[in-house]
Amino acid sequence: MFPRIREITDAFGGRLQVSVEEHPSGALVVLERPDMLGRPRVMLDGYGVDVLSGYIMSARLAVPDTLPDEHIDGVFATRFRLGLDPCAALALTQSSGPALDIPAPFWDRLYAELCLVAAHARELGRRAEARVH
């Protein structure tokens, strides 16, 4: 069943790919923009997925106003930022590469997909723990 890959598209041909892969700690979630030059991508563990889900909802409630940045640390340290100009978009930045921009038209479908992904990630984490013991 893994890797699990889903693609979200918008009305203008934009694409956001969401995948879940097995990882020694359980699961790794990869977000990638295959339609953008350089294919920006970020990798998140379960903690990052939970924070991103909450940040999406906070951004939806905040627009057209600003929202403070969120930062997570660890192996998959990420900065989450809401940009408003020229249009509402989330920017996810990791030290390993350029920002991954997620425009507002993707937010609802991405949020729903992250709910599914989080469940898969928890199960893979549970299985990883069972293999260790």
| pTM given for the model | 0.89
Instruction: Give SS3 for 72.
Output: strand
Q: Would you state the CATH architecture of domain 5-124?
A: 2-Layer Sandwich (3.30)
Burial of 83 (0-12, 13-18, 19+ CB in 10 A): middle
Sole residue written with tokens 């660890």: 74
Burial of 110 (0-12, 13-18, 19+ CB in 10 A): buried
Q: In whole angstroms, what is the distance from residue 97 CA to residue 8 CA? A: 22
**Residue boundaries of the structural domains of the chain:** 5-124
Residue-by-residue pLDDT tens, the chain, 133 positions: 567 899 999 988 999 999 988 777 778 899 999 999 889 999 999 899 999 999 999 999 999 999 999 999 999 999 999 999 999 999 999 997 899 999 999 999 999 999 998 888 787 777 766 665 5
Q: Give the pLDDT score at 89.
A: 97
Measured at the CA of 72, the angle between CA 68 and CA 76, to 5 degrees, comes to 140
